[in-house]
């Protein structure tokens, strides 16, 4: 699990500003996007700089995936979703939970890099 520092929070705000330009987020409050990103980042560490600079498809994939799969009761990412800009991690956390459910999860960040 990652922790949030001031630089991460600043990047989340910048990502939220970029996300607000997407049609899917026109009416989505910026604070909600920042909160969703913060929760996602603490559950599945993200390369926030890479997400901010990502191509439009990867950016939309990760943002929509995070906001769609974030469980707002547990503050964890469900449905074995792994953002493409996730940092490579050992087989623990979300990967382990997905394997227990019988899913074969390949870490997108390792495939993209």
pLDDT tens digits for range 64-80:
999 999 998 988 999 99
Tally of CB atoms within 10 A around 113: 10
Tell which wins on pLDDT, 110 or 48: 48
Count of residues making up the chain: 113
Q: For residues 99-111, give the mean pLDDT.
A: 43
Domain limits of the chain? 6-112
pTM of the model: 0.77
Instruction: With beta carbons less than 8 A apart as the criterion, state whether 20 and 26 touch.
Output: yes
Instruction: Give the C-alpha distances (Å, rounded to integers) separating 12 from 22, 62, 80.
Output: 16, 13, 22
């Amino acid at each position: 699990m990652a922790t949030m520092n001031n630089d991460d929070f600043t990047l989340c705000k910048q990502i939220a500003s970029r996300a607000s330009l997407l049609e899917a987020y026109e009416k989505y409050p910026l604070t909600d996007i920042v909160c969703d990103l913060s929760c996602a980042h603490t559950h599945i560490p993200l390369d926030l700089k890479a997400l901010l600079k990502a191509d439009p498809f990867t950016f939309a994939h990760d943002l929509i995936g995070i906001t769609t799969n974030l469980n707002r009761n547990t503050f964890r990412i469900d449905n074995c979703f792994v953002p493409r800009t996730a940092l490579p991690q050992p087989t623990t956390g979300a990967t382990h939970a997905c394997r227990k459910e019988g899913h074969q999860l390949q870490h997108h960040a390792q495939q993209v890099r």
